[in-house]
Structure 1
């Protein structure tokens, strides 16, 4: 109930901040807001004549989604009740919207079937034009990498280090790879914190766990922290194989960006990934929990340069469907603005 109460207070604060604009005669034609934390709960009360578009990221489900994926136990009654309350504030806003937008078909499928006709699937968009040019940058431009032709680079990118994005399995995968391949370097991007899900029960961060418990080669494991865009793009530009893992949850932009940058991808065979990658056509998809299978897939790509080229070319083509330009076109279409049609 606390989360619902927090959402109400958030909505009231937004209402109070906007009421002066309304009283001064300002009224928007359209209101577009992110839904889920309460900021839009009372927008229609402040501006009753404005049309509403809500960006809906997630609808919680107790089964076949993120909630039950990592746990073997049945979802408790208390958790089910909590999820229903969390969804209630989302449904209140949906009732006020003329249109609802969600970024992927997988996210749309989380909503009740009776509500899906209200939605348009429009991704937020990635900078495909810039990303697809990264491979033309000077290779091995990063100072921590040795300057010789046999150096192999595996990349892993996540906002935080947590179970939702498969950090434990990814680090075990890298441990196996470094034992097998003495010239393999790992570039690990992200903050050593939990962005999604629960922290470790022992109080350690997942990064600390990896350093203490795994046999990662210190001179070939590069912890880069959170990066600004230019440095992040430099990482993608030198990747031989990019590793991406996620539970059935919101798809990370980083996967689409890696695809656009021409990375060969090994990823988890989970629904959000399967929407954008096809096993053997645009990437290799493996079991989320099995680090040995992940390592074997990475080795397969490292030893098959022609296959790498084939997969990353198709992945880059797919990523273009999620470009900012395509998203912009679909938004203008939703708003009723005529735009030229681009076919690719």
Structure 2
């Protein structure tokens, strides 16, 4: 088959799937934004998107659709050129619906089957919007804005042949009529590579080396921000460090914003660090920023306890990777986390806002590693049995994509 991947930051979620399909003899190509500098495992075409500035006063609640559909138009025009100039017609298109890129591809290639990655459908209630009152009390305007943000997501799936979501909860955010179109298959964790390693070590910027077996608390996210509970974690640190004088804290993540609003000034990392700076020992709290994958892997392999917090939102790969590495994971008790992490079985769940509860759970896990060994082993088994890349997820993903192709 001819398979086209569409993602403005390709390979994104398709890092392992694209080369696996190509290895099976399919002709795989990708279409991505010209500003995307990530290396690609397959040949890539690029479109140049130079959007006009959107006037919020003029577009009002339609501004998100305006932004996303403008990118969709750019993508469709690039696709039309591929058809007209090169005669390219894919059998299957697999694209992320989040940025509008897939909206009009069926108008260019009506004969192709379109599979959209349906990662999350915004909700006015019951998910991330209004979840954390610290950053503004929930109000009806937020509800309407959130619903307005779903216009392109609903259109993308309605015009597709099939949808794909990584978790049951993320699929459940879609309305029932659209949910019926969605298959749930996680992207997959390579549990052969992400595995416990008693010889693992991590050298910190200050030259100190931490090793497996040391008393290490880890916290990882793409960016350090409220959506991923950075503020709650930092507020828990003073009590944890006071109770565990030998503990070292390793924090991985950038200081930009992935989700939600930016702070009025500066960045979230410094804002919440400043809040507790005089209550913690800076020599024991190590901010590594964003790190290469081998360093990330080593951090999880030396971790005695891994804290994962999130709003009810997209589940981070890092939580499942931490479980695969054999971490004792303490996670926030919200639906996307509780789908994977079961309290007292393969980890510990704590109410997102309960700072004292986080104190107690993290201190207990740091203090008694042997008592938590069964939970660590169960965490790894969970990922191996349900989310393993090569044995479970990748075969299911390949089967789904191939099922959409033309029959011999």
Q: After TM superposition, is the score higher than 0.5?
A: yes
Give the 3 Å change call, closer, same or farther, for CA 145–175 of structure 1 in structure 2: farther
Matches within 5 A, 1:130-169: 130-132=193-195, 134-139=196-201, 144-145=207-208, 151-169=214-232
**1:58 matched to which residue of 2?**
120
Query: Are residues 1:291 and 2:352 paired?
Result: no
Query: Are residues 1:207 and 2:269 paired?
Result: yes
**1:323 matched to which residue of 2?**
388
Match of 1:111 among 154, 174, 189: 174
1:74 deviates by 6.2
Segments of 5+ residues of structure 1 without an aligned counterpart are 338-344
Give the 3 Å change call, closer, same or farther, for CA 144–179 of structure 1 in structure 2: farther
1:122 deviates by 1.0
SS at match of 1:156: strand
TM-score by length of 2: 0.78
Give the 3 Å change call, closer, same or farther, for CA 198–305 of structure 1 in structure 2: same
Give the 3 Å change call, closer, same or farther, for CA 108–292 of structure 1 in structure 2: same
- Tell me, yes or no, if the aligned pair for 2:202 and 2:298 is still in contact at 8 Å: no
Query: Are residues 1:227 and 2:291 paired?
Result: yes
**2:103 matched to which residue of 1?**
41
1:328 deviates by 1.2
SS at match of 2:197: helix
- Deviation track 1:149-185 (CA, whole Å, cap 9, x = no partner) reads 9841100001111111110111111221111111111
- Tell me, yes or no, if the aligned pair for 2:244 and 2:367 is still in contact at 8 Å: no
**2:6 matched to which residue of 1?**
none
CA distance in 1, matches of 2:326, 2:67: 42
Give the 3 Å change call, closer, same or farther, for CA 38–208 of structure 1 in structure 2: same
- Deviation track 1:295-327 (CA, whole Å, cap 9, x = no partner) reads 211122223233321001011011122222222
- Tell me, yes or no, if the aligned pair for 1:150 and 1:183 is still in contact at 8 Å: no
Give the 3 Å change call, closer, same or farther, for CA 157–224 of structure 1 in structure 2: same
1:84 deviates by 2.4
1:216 deviates by 1.9
- Deviation track 1:233-276 (CA, whole Å, cap 9, x = no partner) reads 11111101001111100101110010001111111111111000
Match of 1:174 among 230, 237, 240: 237
CA distance in 2, matches of 1:76, 1:305: 44
Match of 1:266 among 325, 330, 336: 330
Match of 2:375 among 307, 311, 333: 311
CA distance in 1, matches of 2:342, 2:248: 27
Structure 1 runs (4+) deviating above 4 angstroms are 139-151
- Deviation track 1:207-246 (CA, whole Å, cap 9, x = no partner) reads 2123322122111010100001011111111101001111
- Tell me, yes or no, if the aligned pair for 2:201 and 2:211 is still in contact at 8 Å: no
TM-score by length of 1: 0.92
1:197 deviates by 1.3
Tell me the matched-pair count.
335
CA distance in 2, matches of 1:147, 1:288: 28
Segments of 5+ residues of structure 2 without an aligned counterpart are 1-61, 404-408
